Amino acid sequence: MVYLLKDESLVGWWENFFMEYCKAEIENVALEYPQQRSLLMDYWKIDKVDQEMAETLLMNPFKVFFNAEEALNTIDVAIDKEMKLHFRVHNLPETQRILIRKLRAEHLGRFIAVEGLVKKVTEVRPKLKKAVFICQKCGAHITVEQDEDILKEPLECYEEQGGCGRSSTFKLSPSLSEFIDSQKVEIQESPEGLRGGAQPERISVYIDDDIVGNIAPGDRVIVNGVLVSQQRRRGSYRLTSFDKIM
C-alpha cells in the first residue's frame, strides 16, 4: 500500500510548507518528545496557503496524510532526537461536519468531523504497526506494514528485503515487530439534536498512539477522521453489508 500512497511531489510541497510556516511549532513538539508526538494543525492555515491542497486533504486524506508525515519527519530540528511525529488536522469546514445518522456511502474515504458524546471506551491495547516475520526456509526477517484489522503476512520471502525470493511459511516475531497503543471509542449522537422519540445512533472510532487514554464516557467530543467501511461477518461468512467506522 505504501508504494500506492507515496508521491514525491506531495512530499516536496509539505516539506516547503512545514519549513516556511510551521518550523517553530515543530521545534516545540520536539522539545516535548516523546510525551508529545503530534503536530496539530488548523485546517484553515493550510487553506490560507493553498486552497487546492486543503481540498485534496478532504477528498484524498490517506494519501495526503501519508506524504505529509513523510515530509514532517525529514524536517531538521535543533534537538538531537530521533523522532517519529504524527500530523493531525482539526477545525474542519462546516461542510465536513456530518451528523452520525447522515453518514452515507458518499462520505467513505473522506476527511470528516462528527460530534457527539463518548458512550464507551475500551482499554488501551498494543496494536501491530510493522510486523516482522521470519522465513522458515532461509531465516530472513521480512517486514510488512499493518494498516488493517486483519494481520497481513508476506506473500513470499521478498528478495528486496534480503530474502530468498521463494514461497515459504513465516513466523511472526513480536519482539522484533513495532507496536503502537490503540483504543476503540464509541461515539453517540447528542440527545438534544434528536427529533421526537428518535434513538441516538453511534459510530465506532479507533484512535492510536499519543491520543489514547485521554477521554472518558460522558465527554462531549468532535472527532476528525476518515470514514471507512468494515465488512460484516456471520460466522465464517463475509456479508455484502458493511459497518461505518472512523
Q: Which fold has domain 95-123+181-245?
A: OB fold (Dihydrolipoamide Acetyltransferase, E2P) (2.40.50)
Domain boundaries, the chain: 2-91, 95-123+181-245, 128-179
CA distance to 22, 94, 142, 199, 213, per residue, from 53 (Å): 16, 18, 35, 38, 32
Q: What are the backbone dihedrals phi and psi of residue 89, each rounded to the nearest 5 degrees, phi first? A: -125, 135
Mode of pairing for the β-strands spanning 86-90 and 170-172: unpaired
**Category of 20 on φ-ψ map: left (φ > 0), alpha (ψ -120 to 50) or beta:** alpha
At the top level of CATH, which class does the domain 2-91 belong to? alpha beta
Nearest CA to 166 among 142, 201, 148?
142
CB 136 within 8 A of CB 119: no
Per-residue pLDDT of the chain (246 residues; tens, 9 = 90+): 455 678 899 999 999 999 999 999 999 999 999 889 999 999 999 999 999 999 999 999 999 999 999 999 999 887 777 888 999 999 999 999 999 999 999 999 999 999 999 999 999 999 999 999 999 999 999 999 887 778 899 999 999 999 999 999 999 999 999 999 999 999 999 887 677 777 889 999 999 999 999 999 999 999 999 999 888 777 777 777 788 898
Pick the CATH number of 128-179 from 2.20.28.10, 2.60.120.260, 3.30.2310.20, 1.10.260.40: 2.20.28.10
